[in-house]
Structure 1
Amino acid sequence: MPLKRIPVTLLATVGAVASLCVVGVSDADAAPGGVAGAVVTDGPARAWDVRAWITGTDATPVRSAGAVRTDRTGRFTLRPTSQPGADEAFYVTATPAGQSSSFTTLAAISPTVPSRLTVNELTTVATGYGMAQFVDATRIGGKAPGVRNAASMAGNLADPTSGRIGSTLASAPNGGQTSTQAAFISLSNALAACTTSPEGCSALRSATTTPLSGRPSNMVEAMANMAKSPEHNPAGLFGVTLRRPARAGGLPLPPAAWTLALRFDGGGGLLAGPGNFAIGDGGDIWVNANYQYNADPRTPVCDSKYLFRFGPNGKLVGGRPITGGGLSGAGYGITRDHSGDIWVSNYGFAAPEPGCPADRQPPHNSVSKFSAQGEVLSPAAGFTQGWISWPQGMTTDRTGSVWTTNCATDSLTVFPDGDPGRARNIKVGVKQPFHLIDNGRALFVSGLQSSSIAMLDRSGKPLRTPITGPHVDNPLGLATDARGNVWIANSGVITLPCPDRPTGTASVGSVSALDPTGRTLVGPLRGGGITIPWGITTDGDGNVWVGNFAGKRVSKFCGANAATCPPGKRTGDAISPEVTGYFFDGLARSTGIIVDPAGNVWTTDNWKEVPLQTNPGGLHIVALVGAAAPVPLR
């Protein structure tokens, strides 16, 4: 019977975590000044050659940090000859003894040198996915701070000290609440097929040979191949996972794609309606939020007073959100300026009456500012200069000026050089301006209600009449690539109450692109699982990622440089699966999307799948681990 290719929605529940106990090293085994380790696989007992490495960065090469051969039980003591610097990480590879190179190569990675280390199939999957964008055979290196940040994300999947599933993956809001843990177990079983038999290695190697990355030289590279091309032959790799189901709790059916997605909520009880992202200094993930948190969706809520700063590994910095500075129900607007400061526009989201009471309705007329360390830099009511009114998207242009759209007044507010005292208000020529970007030569503004795109110089002067046509359809998010092309998320349906919501007809949504002069490049594109696209971004290769407001999926398209796409793909072709996209059952309705310097794709659970208007906000941000070409800090 042929394997069915369907979205993953069925989760293993019984014994999944209990079955993952592994033989490793204990605290008593720790070696003073060294690493007490064990290589533990599902294959036969054997000795292994273990080599330690320090990852390279753009400033330092990958370098050896020692080598040792294990005993027949896989145990070893290693005294590293080098330590990772602030932007580096420590990793080990384990190859069957006497084989200078072998496809059956395991790995584990840590941002620092641990006193205990376990290397097994779980840590190898984590290394392959977390470091996917930095793996070259068994060499791992890349630009700072991405490579070290990626190592910290890998630890969320598997703990390199114990060799068990990482606490982030094993617990809420992940664990049994989504399919990722089951997918991770299945991938470890695919590696177990290789560690137990040559035939399993051959099957694994064949299943993970992708058009984009070619034939993997070892198991680490095999997992990196799947992180970068999760849509490739999911049923084929699923078949390999069934050859040696060493760990219970894997997927019962093939996934739509082999993405590994993790949810983060800052510890729970605070994040509600995350709207959009900015990447801060060091690769931190800054997130604004629409609503107050309340676990009961029937409880009316008012505006969020919080700004969230997550570390590159998804942990909430300082253990609590940032408050003050006029924060008031932020929507899509957030930007990082040239000094590293973070700006947020305060749309004033709140549940409509009889939800949030009239005397608690928030203002809709300010932006807030915070330092890169989270210090409040705006007054208690925020900056209100420039006739701000129901603001949404923000950007910092190439000269350092900070812009926000005013949905209610069809205008823009600009703070030249980031100075609110010099604020100006500019009529933009589109209705319900939502987002804006600088493509290097002009500002582009999406007009949501008017289904048009304005093109302005940096003084605010129109450069042409607004762009319209079938390739512009209720546009929301905008993104630009290194060539200056402008990519458009056409919702086809969304309008906003700012304060009144216009009515109109709906279409299915699409993606389009303009060249740097505003002429149509491609589109409208409707493949790749597109369903009401909202957020849009480009990765380090210029390929295009879309957050969809319906369907629990992210979409990916080939960008302007088709050489970075799978062979045969051209600019505008869908890379994610045609019907499902990169489906994840832990997603709700997404808005913002961004790629970090470690190659993780972040998107928001902005609204619940079936939202009650009293309290509709989603409760998580989501990272697709290692899925995209990293975007370096600017």
Structure 2
Amino acid sequence: MQALKTLGQALALSALTLGTATGSVEARVQSTLKGQISLKGQPVSGSSITLWQTQAGHTPKQLSTHRSNNNGAFSIKFRAKQGVVHYLVAQGGDIGGSSADQLTLLTVLGGDEYQRVAINELTTVGSVWPNAQLLEGTALEGSQSALTIGSNQVNNLVDQSTGRFGATLLKSTNLLNSETAARMNVLSDLIALCGQPTQSPACFQLLALTNADNTLSAMTSIARQPWKNAGALYQLFQSSYPINQAKQLRTTATAPYLLFEPKSFSLSLAFDGGGALALGKLMFDGKGNLWSGANWMPGSQSGVVNNIGGGMTHFGPDGTPLSPAITGYNGQGINGVGWGTGVSEKYAWVGAFNNMVGVFDLNNGKALGPATIDGEVGQLQGIATAANGDVWIADNTANHMIRFPGGDYTQGQRITIEGMQAPFGVAVDAQNRVWVSSSYNNKLTVFPGDAPVQAQTIEVNLGARGVAVDSTGHVWIAQQSNSPQGALPPGGITPPNIPANPPQPKTIMEEFEAGAEYLLYNPNLTQTGMVGLISPDMKVVQQNIAKGTAYIPWGVSVDGNDNVWVGNLYGQSLIHICGVNPANCPAGKTTGDVIHNYQSGVIQITTDVIIDDAGNVWSANNWFDGEVVINPTYSGRTSTFPGGQGFVVTYGVAGPVLNPLMGPVRRPTGLD
């Protein structure tokens, strides 16, 4: 037991230092790893169990291979090393006297102390989904931050020491409000088909549906494209685990299982704490940490009419809050943050509602600001960092841009651009051109970063929000209306207390209030908004992307495959769109086609979606109960319900990116 504790401490050290280890790998004390391999609770004997190590810049290495005994037990001695992720792959074996040649199981070891280590069907599902984009067969490889994120997310889904559900999944928010537990059990039962001799035909059907030759490859395939053949996979589960008519249960299946056919086998978990309420924009730093400014303070009765602003939130690669509960980081007098969160090489930035720019040290969240700016500013929104380090911030209510050359927060320059109104989303392309959307008019403004006076405009639809640049220089923009013309809020029936052609709102909360009223007082409205695609030479290529699926689209991100993700505010979903290279899309999909629309009970009214270095998708829950976001009077039991609760991670479905985002999207190259 003491040896296992020592192992756990060494593994914890390896996981925690993965993002900073350089040079030679330092050996640690030799430890003994003990565990058991099982399937459906039965021991797997004679399984070939290989201990692997992987780290950035190196091909994964097999350390040793062992056989499980008749009880499925195994024992492995090895030296844990700094900056290394370890994982176990089990192949084949005997279950109740029958061989299981197609069975391959996986357990990725994280940083906790283990009294024992389990390898089973559930550890396989829990290990594959956060690492799906990093797995090729039995090889797990990626950048330092990718391996840190992937390995540290596993224990949120599964406890590697027991082979049961992880603590985060068992929290009431996730267990009661999502299908994740039931989906994991169905997936586990599909794996188990390849360990039961009576189910051999079903095992081969699973492998055929996933174009795989073993269960690990099958799960990796499902994790990457969880919507593909979802109906056929569910039918396979149903036929393989029939209902016992006497008990009216699928008695051989693991409960809880799905009672209805899923649209996909994606797995999502919600995370909270650290001051995270009504998060706007999400951003990653280079170590896989998440940063986001909060609209409102947790525990308050804040909405768009009455509010107490939040601060900056900070989460580790495993979703653990690092910023203080309730307030988040502050120390600069920040009173609420909208969509203004950015990350540069050294700092995290927020554009606040109370006319200031907050700046924080990436290492410890220490307050360094407020930033120094050469003039008065209004209420701030989008932030983008250019490849040259310049930081650009949209001054939404005062109608100008703020530039910090080289990311120096003491040298803020207020820049006025003729005709620009209500700048909102900001992105910078590889030519150092700054693209700025407007939340008030139908103009997308584009200007050279070193010559803003040369600004040009492109006509887009009203209500533009997020802007993102792919690796080819094409620009994607979220538009909350279906037309470049009409009243604001966009189209349809205007609420009785909003004029047909209203002036620009004086505050961001007034703008949010108008949008909320538009939705609430327009009962016939079921859809508005779509995504636009603009070429590098500033020509509109497509304008009505995702029309019919998008419902007030907000944040836009591009993944490492140049495919596009949209935070679908009132649709409460994440829209996956085929990008400019159809070769990176599923068969039959072309540029602008919706690949899938991800939904879960834990995905609330969302404003943003971003991609981490391991290919997982993180989304911001901005509003929770839209009915009480407009709260001029006390609303009883729901008075604290306006703000969205934390954020959500949807595992393994996107092409990995290189963070932080500085300029257009970057895909990791080689073994960074």
Normalising to structure 2: TM-score of the pair? 0.80
Looking at structure 2, the residues matched to 604 and 343 of structure 1 have their Cα atoms a distance apart, in angstroms, of 17
Equivalent residues of 1:335, 1:343 under 8 A apart: yes
Counterpart of 2:666?
Answer: none
| CA deviation profile, 1:299-349 (whole Å, cap 9, x unmatched) | 986333421111111111266432212322100011111x331110002xx
Looking at structure 1, the residues matched to 152 and 392 of structure 2 have their Cα atoms a distance apart, in angstroms, of 34
CA RMSD in angstroms comes to: 2.9
Counterpart of 2:594?
Answer: 574
Looking at structure 2, the residues matched to 276 and 401 of structure 1 have their Cα atoms a distance apart, in angstroms, of 19
Task: Give the paired residue count.
Answer: 575
Counterpart of 1:109?
Answer: 108
Counterpart of 1:275?
Answer: 280
Report the secondary structure of 1:33's partner residue. Answer: strand
Counterpart of 2:498?
Answer: none
Q: Residue 227 in 1 paired to residue 223 in 2?
A: yes
The correspondence for 2:563, drawn from 526, 543, 550, is 543
Looking at structure 2, the residues matched to 184 and 295 of structure 1 have their Cα atoms a distance apart, in angstroms, of 35
Equivalent residues of 1:54, 1:64 under 8 A apart: yes
Counterpart of 2:161?
Answer: 161
Once the two structures are TM-superposed, the CA of residue 221 in structure 1 deviates from its matched residue by 2.0
Counterpart of 1:358?
Answer: none
Report the secondary structure of 1:131's partner residue. Answer: helix
Looking at structure 2, the residues matched to 299 and 429 of structure 1 have their Cα atoms a distance apart, in angstroms, of 28
- Following superposition of structure 1 onto structure 2, how do residues 346-425 of structure 1 map, counting pairs within 5 Å? 346-347=352-353, 363=354, 365-379=355-369, 383=372, 385-419=374-408, 420-425=410-415
Looking at structure 2, the residues matched to 498 and 102 of structure 1 have their Cα atoms a distance apart, in angstroms, of 68
Counterpart of 2:603?
Answer: 587
Once the two structures are TM-superposed, the CA of residue 510 in structure 1 deviates from its matched residue by 0.6
| CA deviation profile, 1:188-219 (whole Å, cap 9, x unmatched) | 12222232231231122233x2xxxxx12322
Change (3 A) 1:46 1:436: closer
Counterpart of 1:265?
Answer: 272
Question: What letter is aligned with 1:142?
Answer: G
Question: What letter is aligned with 1:229?
Answer: Q
Once the two structures are TM-superposed, the CA of residue 398 in structure 1 deviates from its matched residue by 2.5
| CA deviation profile, 1:235-292 (whole Å, cap 9, x unmatched) | 111123332453111111011221101000127xx42111111101311011110001
Q: Residue 532 in 1 paired to residue 522 in 2?
A: no
Q: Residue 172 in 1 paired to residue 172 in 2?
A: yes
Counterpart of 2:262?
Answer: 255
Report the secondary structure of 2:36's partner residue. Answer: strand
Question: What letter is aligned with 2:313?
Answer: F
Change (3 A) 1:36 1:56: closer
- Following superposition of structure 1 onto structure 2, how do residues 417-456 of structure 1 map, counting pairs within 5 Å? 417-419=406-408, 420-427=410-417, 429-441=419-431, 442-456=433-447
Equivalent residues of 1:405, 1:436 under 8 A apart: yes
Looking at structure 2, the residues matched to 449 and 620 of structure 1 have their Cα atoms a distance apart, in angstroms, of 28
Tell which deviates more after alignment, 435-444 or 381-390. Answer: 381-390
Change (3 A) 1:446 1:554: same
The correspondence for 1:36, drawn from 34, 37, 41, is 34
Change (3 A) 1:296 1:326: closer
| CA deviation profile, 1:104-130 (whole Å, cap 9, x unmatched) | 111111135955210111001112212
Change (3 A) 1:382 1:172: farther
Counterpart of 1:189?
Answer: 189
Once the two structures are TM-superposed, the CA of residue 530 in structure 1 deviates from its matched residue by 1.9
Once the two structures are TM-superposed, the CA of residue 528 in structure 1 deviates from its matched residue by 8.0
Once the two structures are TM-superposed, the CA of residue 220 in structure 1 deviates from its matched residue by 1.9
Looking at structure 2, the residues matched to 92 and 515 of structure 1 have their Cα atoms a distance apart, in angstroms, of 46
Equivalent residues of 1:137, 1:216 under 8 A apart: no
The correspondence for 1:473, drawn from 453, 462, 469, is 462
Report the secondary structure of 1:59's partner residue. Answer: coil
Counterpart of 1:199?
Answer: 201
Equivalent residues of 1:294, 1:301 under 8 A apart: no
Report the secondary structure of 2:39's partner residue. Answer: coil
- Following superposition of structure 1 onto structure 2, how do residues 475-624 of structure 1 map, counting pairs within 5 Å? 475-492=464-481, 497-499=505-507, 501=511, 508-526=528-546, 529-576=549-596, 581-612=597-628, 613-614=630-631, 616-624=642-650
Q: Residue 333 in 1 paired to residue 340 in 2?
A: yes
Counterpart of 1:134?
Answer: 134
Looking at structure 1, the residues matched to 144 and 56 of structure 2 have their Cα atoms a distance apart, in angstroms, of 7
Report the secondary structure of 1:308's partner residue. Answer: strand
Equivalent residues of 2:605, 2:621 under 8 A apart: yes
Report the secondary structure of 1:446's partner residue. Answer: strand
Equivalent residues of 2:49, 2:68 under 8 A apart: no
Counterpart of 2:499?
Answer: none
Once the two structures are TM-superposed, the CA of residue 376 in structure 1 deviates from its matched residue by 3.2
Question: What letter is aligned with 2:387?
Answer: R
| CA deviation profile, 1:465-505 (whole Å, cap 9, x unmatched) | 31014xx3321001111111111011117688442547999
| CA deviation profile, 1:407-434 (whole Å, cap 9, x unmatched) | 1122111122233335223225332211
Question: What letter is aligned with 2:657?
Answer: V
| CA deviation profile, 1:131-165 (whole Å, cap 9, x unmatched) | 10011112211222202320111221111111110
Tell which deviates more after alignment, 496-505 or 114-123. Answer: 496-505
Equivalent residues of 2:156, 2:166 under 8 A apart: yes
Once the two structures are TM-superposed, the CA of residue 396 in structure 1 deviates from its matched residue by 1.5
Change (3 A) 1:561 1:549: same
Q: Residue 89 in 1 paired to residue 105 in 2?
A: no
Counterpart of 1:17?
Answer: none
Change (3 A) 1:428 1:599: farther
Looking at structure 2, the residues matched to 602 and 189 of structure 1 have their Cα atoms a distance apart, in angstroms, of 27
Percent same amino acid among aligned pairs?
A: 26
Looking at structure 2, the residues matched to 28 and 313 of structure 1 have their Cα atoms a distance apart, in angstroms, of 21
Counterpart of 1:19?
Answer: none
Once the two structures are TM-superposed, the CA of residue 568 in structure 1 deviates from its matched residue by 2.5
Segments of structure 2 that go 5 or more residues without pairing to the other structure are: 9-29, 242-251, 482-487, 491-503, 632-639, 661-672
Looking at structure 1, the residues matched to 590 and 162 of structure 2 have their Cα atoms a distance apart, in angstroms, of 44
Question: What letter is aligned with 2:605?
Answer: R
| CA deviation profile, 1:515-550 (whole Å, cap 9, x unmatched) | 122112333212583221100101111110010111
Segments of structure 1 that go 5 or more residues without pairing to the other structure are: 1-25, 210-214, 348-362
Change (3 A) 1:372 1:331: same
Once the two structures are TM-superposed, the CA of residue 385 in structure 1 deviates from its matched residue by 4.0
Looking at structure 2, the residues matched to 29 and 454 of structure 1 have their Cα atoms a distance apart, in angstroms, of 58
The correspondence for 1:288, drawn from 284, 293, 306, is 293
Tell which deviates more after alignment, 36-45 or 127-136. Answer: 36-45
Report the secondary structure of 1:272's partner residue. Answer: coil
Change (3 A) 1:298 1:538: closer
Equivalent residues of 1:157, 1:169 under 8 A apart: yes
Change (3 A) 1:527 1:76: farther
Counterpart of 1:20?
Answer: none
Tell which deviates more after alignment, 412-421 or 479-488. Answer: 412-421
Counterpart of 1:306?
Answer: 311
Change (3 A) 1:306 1:424: closer
Looking at structure 2, the residues matched to 116 and 58 of structure 1 have their Cα atoms a distance apart, in angstroms, of 27
Equivalent residues of 1:105, 1:220 under 8 A apart: yes
Equivalent residues of 2:4, 2:114 under 8 A apart: no
Report the secondary structure of 2:416's partner residue. Answer: strand
Looking at structure 2, the residues matched to 467 and 298 of structure 1 have their Cα atoms a distance apart, in angstroms, of 34
Question: What letter is aligned with 2:479?
Answer: N
Change (3 A) 1:44 1:132: same
Once the two structures are TM-superposed, the CA of residue 33 in structure 1 deviates from its matched residue by 2.1
Equivalent residues of 2:373, 2:414 under 8 A apart: no
Normalising to structure 1: TM-score of the pair? 0.84
Looking at structure 2, the residues matched to 179 and 304 of structure 1 have their Cα atoms a distance apart, in angstroms, of 33
Change (3 A) 1:374 1:72: same
Once the two structures are TM-superposed, the CA of residue 297 in structure 1 deviates from its matched residue by 7.5
The correspondence for 1:51, drawn from 35, 39, 49, is 49
